[in-house]
Structure 1
């Protein structure tokens, strides 16, 4: 199918079926698998189209990268638990006797501090703070929300991340944007217009500090955790298995060195990720987790843990991360199917007649949000919309880079983030559920009202910007 082709309304049915089934059954893997199978039939590819689709979706560098990232994350979390590093971190926090609000604020700050990778943030913050937040009765749903809303929303408003490089790279050659320096400068100028991402991060701080009260399903989850001590709902199926959540330290009578078994591996992760970003222009997140897992495995042996136990721990870590990997398998498959069927093209064609200078930023945000939510990919949304809508906005502005252009760039970025951090199909949403040890659909269900609230404010703001220019 060529890049402009689409099967019309049928093209958006697979992701729509997946999302509806996921909310209805609360079984994300089953819902995604069923939607992929039905989508193949709707596309007219027959029964054998399903395995062929999976081979194309998974047999590539992109999936291999995130698959390996998940594997090394699972191993590292298992090592942290087997050495007692997570428990030791929790005991350090507990000695300070922090309040429930202070724990929430600490988690929020941690999410914003580790801004260089939207993959690293939710896993690191969630796995590090999970036992601490459990102790003060913060629900896993709230922890997943904090992890998720301080990952992609932060990454897209920091001009030194891979997100900034990717978006600015797409802008080169459009109107007066002649080179990388100009493109990055214009992206930086657009950051104040990224209302959705900025407000998403601020809302987390307001909620964890108590200045804004929880509402919707999140309020029910927090009331349950606070009053009943249940950080998970009775029917929850955490997106991390018992191999990781119930792992005991090897030395039960004492914790091993917190510095060597936690701080040092974390510094390795940050050092490799930040160092490769500075010197190579791309944060090597997967390699960072691999390096930390290998070093910590060696340190475990030096500290007297048998090789067999280390290998068993690593295998349990891989087993524990498998629920998240299975969701990613089907998420990648349905994304490929949606691309084949022309779902994004259908949405773009359906809104072209509405576009005008005053409505462009608002329509851009809505369109980006719909595409990213239905496909679970923000970068894919950027790649689809920026080449179409940014030249259009520059044309509307007479070739200048004015507020309409900057707001449109920000609307694509913010709308892409909307789906990336709240769609059940998104890899970062999956990683947030994994890191927090939360039920995936409970996380999506409790976070979505907050995302929709901020998204609605963003649409109104973009309408005001469009009218005022």
Structure 2
């Protein structure tokens, strides 16, 4: 494919595919179709008359490059099925019920579990989402609210812990910029954690919502009212077909260890090998061995769950692949460098943190590419911060927190997609209910960065 100097050639036009995706999703309430439409528009802008061939080339290349994710999501689906159909998740819920013995305690327990599993946001979504379904259903907590709590402790917690996958990656990117002489990227990252203001606020507001200190509002309030009045934990349309099955009625709880041990193996192997696909495969094998020995699952049932898991995650996989293709077109059009360099002339020391957070957050939300946006942003933002005599740790904190916002809010991101798969929702269910709540820490984050920027200028 032809390489293009995107910034000089496309400029403001590079915004069009992203705008098409967002507007289409709002109107149609369908994420996958909106993403595909956005990739069509990106291809048309790039190549005009030969757009179909270019789109096909980009898509085929991404499918090949994303084989890792295809396997990962499929194995996630398999693990979810195994933990549910074997009664392992129910067994864990029985243990959790001894601690989470009220509605508020259940929500706080969910929040605490999300903080404990800080290594990787995928692990967070998978483990907490599956583990807490039965308990939150019991206490009439909507799946939309569960998804909000789970994803609020995803990337936001991961960037606050320097030993997570996010922390390690960002530390290496900071070190590559080479702007902080005599200091390792890890040390610089740790020094920036106090300035990741949005992430701190996003994590803190969750228990405030759960305890009623901050009342729910908007569609999430209506979702909770729906559960209170009808007992329906899923959106109403889920009950019109076969989407929700009476799994709990058919499944008996098995030992909680059948859930705990595979999850510990998953986390331990992921930490040791830094390979989440290998970790989930090992974890699934361990789960099967435990269940086979207890005569709770046959080899045939295990194979059926593997196939079924890949089927369950087909929509998830297609959604993430479409988002990756859109990212490729955004990169080819030069979206991120164009936006950052367009706002650079208006930056001042006092406004630098707030504008940096706002712009990077907008890019992360629009593109669904968080690590990619960070990789492009650090080499531009850090030299600008030094030139303007802005605290570089404040700049790092603003960029990191902004990408966490993208993971928290972007309805077609991989993090939201995995969260929805683990909680049994569609991405647009999450977008409709969670984004208005996420708006609170987002606004507070902007205000906090404005205040800190003025004080430290």
Shorter-chain TM-score category?
over 0.9
> Bigger CA drift: 319-328 or 144-153?
319-328
Shift of 1:249: 8.9
Q: Show structure 2 runs of 5+ residues with no match.
A: none
User: What residue is the counterpart of 1:67 in the other structure?
Assistant: 70
Q: How many residues end up aligned between the 2 structures?
A: 449
Normalised to the residue count of structure 2, the TM-score between the two structures is: 0.92
Within the alignment, does 1:137 sit opposite 2:140 as a pair? yes
Cα deviation for residue 237 of structure 1 reads 9.5
> Could you say which residue in structure 2 is the equivalent of 1:268?
265
Cα pair 1:369 1:415 within 8 Å, conserved = yes
Alignment correspondent of 1:163: 166
**In structure 2, distance between residues paired with 1:237 and 1:155:** 35
For the Cα contact (< 8 Å) 2:336–2:363, is it kept in 1?
A: yes
In structure 2, the residue matched to 1:410 is 397
- The answer as to 2:285 corresponding to 1:287 is no
Distance 1:349 1:6, change over 3 A: farther
- 2:35 maps to what in 1? 32
Quick one: which of 415, 432, 435 aligns to 1:448? 435
Report the alpha carbon displacement of residue 248 of structure 1 after superposing the two structures with TM: 6.7
The aligned counterpart of 2:5 is: 2
Distance change >3 Å, CA 346–CA 315, structure 1 → 2? same
Question: CA-to-partner distance for each residue in 1:154-177, whole Å, 9 max, x for gaps?
Answer: 000112222222222222265662
User: How much has 1:4 moved relative to structure 2?
Assistant: 4.5
Structure-2 residue corresponding to 1:428: 415
Is 1:104 matched up with 2:107? yes
Q: Deviations over 1:352-409 (max 9, x none)?
A: 2211222111111011111101111211111111100111111222xxxxx6322111
Equivalent position of 1:371 in the other structure:
363
Q: How many Å separate the matches in 1 of 2:57 and 2:436?
A: 37
1:395 aligns with 2:387: yes
Cα shift at 1:26: 1.7
**Structure 1 segments of 4 or more deviating over 6 A?**
none
**What does residue 47 of structure 1 align with?**
52
Task: Say which SS state the counterpart of residue 118 (structure 2) adopts.
Answer: coil
Q: Note if 1:323 corresponds to 2:323.
A: no
1:422 Cα offset (Å): 0.9
Going from structure 1 to structure 2, the CA distance change for 1:329 and 1:450 (only over 3 Å counts) comes to same
- Partner Cα distance (1:366, 1:31) in 2: 24
Larger proportion of helix: 2
Return the offset for 1:36.
1.4
Unaligned runs of 5+ in 1: 277-282, 398-402
Alignment match, 2:224? 222
Distance (whole Å) between structure 2 residues aligned to residue 159 and residue 379 of structure 1:
15
Residues 256 and 140 of structure 1: CA distance in aligned 2, closer, same or farther (over 3 Å): closer
Q: Report if the CA contact (8 A) 2:263-2:283 is conserved.
A: yes
In structure 2, the residue corresponding to 1:29 is in which secondary structure? Answer: helix
> Equivalent residue for 2:287?
296
Contact 1:236 1:442 in 2 (8 A): no
CA RMSD of aligned residues (A): 2.2
Alpha-carbon distance in 1 for matches of 2:114, 2:76: 17
| 3-state SS of 1:454 partner | helix
